[in-house]
Structure 1
Amino acid sequence: MDTQPIVKENYNSVLIAFSRALMREAHVLTQHPDLLWQQIYNRLQWADAPSDGLVETEREGRCDLDLRPWGWAKSRGRQSDALFRILIGHNGAVTCCAVSPDSAWIVTASGDRTVRVWDALTGQLHHTLKGHTEPIWGCAISPDGSWIVSTSLDNTVQVWDASTGELRHTLKGHTHGIIGCAISPDGAWIVTTSGDKTVRVWDAITGKPQHILEGHTSGVRSCAVSPDGMWIVSSSDDKTVRVWDIATGQLRQILKGHTEPIWRCAISPDGAWIVSASRDKTLLVWDTVTGEILHTLEGHTDWVEGCAISPDGAWIVSASKDKTLRVWNAVTGEIQNILEGHSDWVEGCSVSPNGAWIVSASRDETLRIWDTTAGKSLHISEGHIRQIEGLVVSPDGTKIVSISGDKTVRVWDAITGNPQNTLEGHTGLVCGCVVSPDSAWIASTSWDRTVRIWDAATGKPRYILKGHTDWVFGCAFSPNGKWIVSASRDKKLQVWDLLTGKIRYTLRGHTHGVNDCAVSPDGSWIVSASWDKTMRVWDGSTGELQHTLRGFSDGVLGCAVSPDGAWIVSACHDFTLRVWDTTTGETRHTLEGHSAGIVGFVISPDGAWIASASWDGTVRVWNIITGAPRQILKGHRDKVVGCAVSPDGNWIVSTSADETLRVWDVATGEQILIYPLLAPGFCVTTHPWRPMAICGDNIGGLYILAMMNVKYGPIIVTAHQDEQGIVLRCPACQHIHLISQSQLGIEIVCPNKQCMLHLKINPFVIHLA
């Protein structure tokens, strides 16, 4: 890299920015070292450091078709700036974590039945401790750092040598799974909590039991020891926190206030107060002398799974099922920071003894380290707060529309990724959305049994279409934008007039829920797919049934129509796709090969092939003439959850639960680009005329990715016949151009001189109904 753009006095801040970016990407680069440039650039472009000149000069030099393809993120990742390292290695949920007294290493417990010891500075794995036969829920480190204790659902406590990783003791006595543990300040004894409703105290040297503390009326989740070692606190599913005298084993106090089970508790460094974390979504801070509640910490949107206190007692950190950590001022109870980045429940957290960082453990199988001095934010990143269920780009390419389980529809600028509008009103999960052919309107469908029509420019509602009596799964606009059809679990389809908002027709005939629907390119008919093992074709003008397509062995999950309207493709719950002739209603092909559910499919813009995405971890490309597989795209390491095709038909993009987006060359089947996500992917689409992919993940993150150095041919478009003759609409400038019969099937340049987009016209013409 050319370092000339950096002013001499800024070297230090630039190096810090680069170092921080490398640490945050270390877990990715360990697996994909060839992604160094892509990952570092996409971090540094958002960094608050004087490295712009350096990275922009380098980027310009890396934009050449002869160079390696890479993905340029046009939207900022949903991840707190405070995050500086991700540790991967566990093969199950990470349930607990603790930090050594010198802040040099971390110990973790996991559902994969192992305890692991990590270097806190480098992230390297020191030891994997194996011995438990069931998931491990608790871990703690002795005050001198020489040994580790772990607790498991196998009803045992195990004590390990921290240096060698060897097992020292196995403590038995609990009659149910053991969940929590703590160690006395002098390292002389261990305390454990169990589903058997007891707290037990053990001699750390001999492993013999000293006390059995009984009184809780449900399983005991966690425990902590006072700084002077004189008392213990425990939290339970019985919704209480209890304080016990260690010398006598007698109960001192019962603290009541939570309305749901209490998952964790911790004691302040001076022993003056206790904090407890509960499934009621709150933390309570208690005075240890009076037992009174000092603060109620509210803000989490789901169960609070863990809590820890800073070494100076100034702040509290909490971990939640809402996938965030929150930092609270211990004196005022006010929130100080929200840490985003985990893609699943955050099960636990701990603070380094030097107070410089927080470590968190999650069901996403990762351990994350957060800088306590950087990246403070009091707000969740703008966007969805639940999984993105679907994405669509407006036909004019200016807007991205996303839908979510958070009951909202969001509209984003397709180029900058900036949010434009949040469409609120649905009272249930939003499961479908489409944009009208003229890009003026958005339609969304929901579990709240409604279809809603929104102004795409302002975000204001136009209609709330009520008529369905169960969840509405999907909808489709007519090609002229005058009506919309919706499919519902109530076994019906409704055709709605968009001038009046009234129902035109109700299409009845299916005997189970209708999963999907589509409209023919000319608008003359509608096709529907149902759990009743049929597809049905309906007249778009009268609503009359034209064909019932049978032969499925299971429910039909989805359907789509070819660009020329000559055939329909359907995905079935039996792992197959079928291709149907729309004139005869007969099966052309049954596409077999997937070994697990098909969750998405797409038709190429020229109608030559179909691509399908499956939970078997593959994308398959099928020849539409022969029905034979053209390519089997392998590379994902988990379920593939969606696929899309570029508008030139040259590449396919897929996303997966393996937290990647991948781009494939259709002609060769080779993977040409991989882009790591921050969470498991859930849906993906492409831009109608730019080389861009848009992806949504399971924590509400939106990714807008420009494909750099990816070969991009002319955009495939379809002409239609109207009163003027044969016309086509350029997807970029949206101008309508009159063309001749002889131009069908050839490449042209958009006649609009301000546009000049290269187009390839399909050889057929659509005659609009």
Structure 2
Amino acid sequence: MALQSHSMNLTEPLAPNAEWVHESSAQVEIKLYHGHTGPVKSCQLIENKNWLITGSNDNTARIWDFQSGKEIHQYKLNHDMAAIPAVRINQEATRLYSCGWDKTVRCFDVETGKEIWKGVHEHIVTNCHISHDGKSLCSGTDLDSVLSIWDTATGVMSTRIPNVHESTITSCQFNIPDDRIITTSTDKTTKFFDLVTHRSTMTLRGHEGVVSNCTFNKFERLYATCSWDKTVLLYDATVGSFRREGPLMLPKLHEGSIAACHMSEDGKLLVTGGYDLRIVLWDLDNMTHKLGLRGHRDWINDVCLTSDNTWIISVSNDCDIRLWHVANCDNIKQVIEQNKTLKNAKIISCSKCRKNFSSNKLQRENGDSAILCVFCRLEQKQKNSHYTQILHDYDRPGVLNDQVSLKSNFTEPSVPSFQHY
């Protein structure tokens, strides 16, 4: 979806259900929006209206003012409290679409909130996506792995494509020209279904686990996929070398399954979020990470990046919506390098009290081979010279240096048949 970039006013007054949650010493400013009472599963930006759209298992979709966090609209989605994996809105912001584990896809009028039509699948619907021209909606299912295309005006299923994958479709989306649908699956592949020839034209392989999502830049030259195998793979479609040599793999920073990914329009940045509660901002030009962000208290389900690359939006099972201001992330490279050093630290045991502490805090006196924690060193100095010293939080034994708090905000087939209706 083509989004219009615009500058974000950081001094915009926040609504009562929104707050700044960063501390004065924080390197990344964070806004936190409250309102949902169940896990938030999806987020989408409509920047030309300054809207943020979220969908939740609390059976609601909500539209927020991006800058202030004020809730503009709330929609009851009629999915009978079933899980709602995705909520989407068309570019004109006139129609809202949702899909649920109740085996339905639904269309709502944005202005009135009334349900316009309902489409029914035979099995659980795992994802849906609106075409860029707003005329079609695609949806994917669980057990039968069916990809369906709906006419958004009438709610009629225009095309049903079975057996696109060998197992569950985890995500589906239209490409920029709306002539292909890209799907990911638990069968560890990503596929491209051509809507002109009605056949799968390309399959991306390389993951060892479930492929949860795929993202690409506006030129569709670079594709990134993320997986439950904790990896992010890059495929360069301009040279096609991945067909011979395989995809490129970004450094393995996530410690758990990666649920979502989103690439910037220029293809220079990528943001990923996972079940390890970590968000990572990647520099694709240099194949390295720029930032690791922590703060969510439960699984991260979806992430997106503003078109000017200044804000990351993330949603989670903790019911929170977080906005991370990353415009100045290049200025905090030094902090990231320090964090890399901390991650190399080892946990060792004190020779005297046997408590664990980080090797980063290991100090030995001249000629002393004993390995002592800060407390035992202090005790020894007090006995010898009545020396006193102020202890800092980071000197306490048992604190792992690769854990990062909110204070710093840094961390972690055959061609399918098809039917027309």
Q: TM-score, normalised by structure 2?
A: 0.74
The counterpart of 1:179, out of the listed 126, 129, 132, is: 126
Measure how far apart 1:313 and its partner are.
Answer: 2.6
Shift in CA distance, 301/120, structure 1 to aligned 2, threshold 3 Å: same
Structure 1 contact 443–454 (Cα < 8 Å) conserved: no
Cα distance, 1:337 vs structure 2: 2.5
Q: Is the 8 A contact 2:259 2:302 kept in 1?
A: yes
Residues 3-51 of structure 1, C-alpha deviation per residue, up to 9 Å, x if partnerless? xxxxxxxxxxxxx99x48x76997458xxxxxxxxx8xx833x2xxxxx
Instruction: Give the equivalent residue in structure 2 for 1:274.
Output: 223
Specify which of 295, 300, 304 is matched with residue 248 of structure 2. Answer: 295
Distance change in 2, residues 1:184/1:425 (3 Å) = same
**Structure 2 CA distance for partners of 1:441 and 1:128, relative to 1, 3 Å:** farther
| Aligned twin of 2:39 | 93
Asked whether 1:121 is paired with 2:63, we answer no
**C-alpha distance in structure 2 between counterparts of 1:441 and 1:161, whole Å:** 69
Per-residue CA shift, 1:613-664, capped at 9, x if unaligned? xxxxxxxxxxxxxxxxxxxxxxxxxxxxxxxxxxxxxxxxxxxxxxxxxxxx
Q: For residues 360 and 166 of structure 2, what CA distance do their matches in structure 1 show?
A: 56
Tell me by how many angstroms 1:235 deviates: 0.3
Matched, 1:252 2:232: no
Residues 112 and 279 of structure 1, relative CA distance in 2, 3 Å threshold: same
1:90 aligns to what SS in structure 2?
Answer: coil
Structure 2 counterpart SS, 1:305: strand
Matched, 1:165 2:113: yes
Does structure 1 retain, via aligned residues, the 8 Å contact 2:14–2:70? no
Separation in 1, partners of 2:361, 2:45: 51
| Residues 300 and 320, structure 1, Cα contact 8 Å, conserved in 2 | yes
1:147 paired residue number: 95
CA deviation after TM superposition for structure 1 residue 302, in Å: 1.7
Query: For residue 265 of structure 2, what is the aligned residue in structure 1?
Result: 311
Q: Distance in 1 between matches of 2:221 and 2:339?
A: 38
Q: Contact conserved, 2:274 with 2:301, CA < 8 A, in 1?
A: yes
**What letter matches 2:236 in structure 1?**
D
**Alignment deviations for residues 641-695 of structure 1 (CA, whole Å, 9 cap, x no partner):** xxxxxxxxxxxxxxxxxxxxxxxxxxxxxxxxxxxxxxxxxxxxxx99xxxxxxx
Cα offset for 1:200?
Answer: 1.2
Equivalent position of 1:239 in the other structure: 188
Report the 3-state secondary structure (helix = DSSP H, G, I; strand = E; otherwise coil) of the residue aligned with 1:102. Answer: helix
Give the secondary-structure state (helix, strand or coil) at the position aligned to 2:166: coil
For the Cα contact (< 8 Å) 2:17–2:70, is it kept in 1? no
Structure 1 segment 384-463 matched on structure 2, within 5 A: 424-425=347-348, 441-444=352-355, 458=362
- Distance in 2 separating the partners of 1:234 and 1:203: 19
Q: Which residue of 1 aligns with 2:141?
A: 194
CA deviation profile, 1:502-533 (whole Å, cap 9, x unmatched): xxxxxxxxxxxxxxxxxxxxxxxxxxxxxxxx
Listed one character per residue, the Cα deviations across residues 444-494 of structure 1 (whole Å, up to 9, x for unaligned) are 4xxxxxxx699998478969xxxxxxxxxxxxxxxxxxxxxxxxxxxxxxx
Identify, as 1 or 2, the structure richer in strand.
1
The 1:459/1:194 distance shift into structure 2, 3 A limit, reads: farther
Higher relative contact order (CA 8 A, sep 6+): 2
Counting matched residue pairs gives 360
| 1:352 corresponds to which of 297, 302, 306 | 306
Aligned residue for 2:23, secondary structure, equals helix
| Structure 1 portions without partners, runs of 5+ | 1-15, 30-38, 47-79, 386-405, 409-421, 427-434, 445-451, 464-686, 689-695, 705-769
Residue 23 of structure 2 aligns with which residue?
43
Structure 1 residues 457 and 306, CA, compared in 2 at 3 Å: closer, same or farther? closer
Letter in 1 for 2:112: T
Distance in 1 between residues matched to 2:360 and 2:205, nearest whole Å:
50
Give yes or no for contact 1:182–1:223 (8 Å, CA) kept in 2: yes
- Relative distance call for 1:253 and 1:703 in structure 2 (3 A) is closer
SS where residue 132 of structure 1 aligns?
A: coil
**Match in the other structure for 1:325:** 279
Residue type of the partner of 1:184? Answer: S
Match of 1:112 in 2: 58
Distance 1:295 1:281 in 2: 14
Q: What per-residue deviation string (whole Å, max 9, x for no partner) do you get for residues 682-736 of structure 1?
A: xxxxx99xxxxxxx99x956699xxxxxxxxxxxxxxxxxxxxxxxxxxxxxxxx
Matched, 1:368 2:322: yes
Deviation at 1:193, TM superposition (A): 1.6
- Verify: 1:212 aligned to 2:160, yes or no: yes
Residue 323 of structure 1 and its aligned partner are, at CA, apart by 1.6
Question: Radius of gyration: which is bigger?
Answer: 1
Does 2:60 align with 1:137? Answer: no
User: Which range is displaced more, 196-205 or 371-380?
Assistant: 371-380
Tell whether the 8 Å contact from 2:215 to 2:261 is kept in structure 1 after alignment.
Answer: yes
1:141-191 Cα distance to aligned partner (Å, 9 max, x none): 21222222111111111122223333222121x222212221112111011
Aligned AA (1:43): E
Aligned-residue offset at 1:135:
1.2
Q: Report the Cα distance in structure 1 between the residues aligned to 2:358 and 2:69, rounded to whole angstroms.
A: 48
Cα drift, residue 278 of structure 1: 0.5
Instruction: Provide the aligned C-alpha RMSD in A.
Output: 3.8
In structure 1, what residue type is equivalent to 2:249? Answer: T
CA contact (8 A) 2:294 2:406 kept: no
Distance 1:457 1:195, change over 3 A: closer
Paired residue secondary structure (1:316): strand
Range with bigger deviation, 370-379 or 101-110 = 370-379
Distance 1:343 1:380 in 2: 25
Change (3 A) 1:423 1:233: closer
Listed as ranges, the gaps of 5+ residues in structure 2 are 1-8, 372-389, 392-398, 408-421
Q: Contact (CA 8 Å) 2:17, 2:34: kept in 1 or not?
A: no
Distance verdict in 2 for CA 1:245–1:457, change over 3 Å: closer
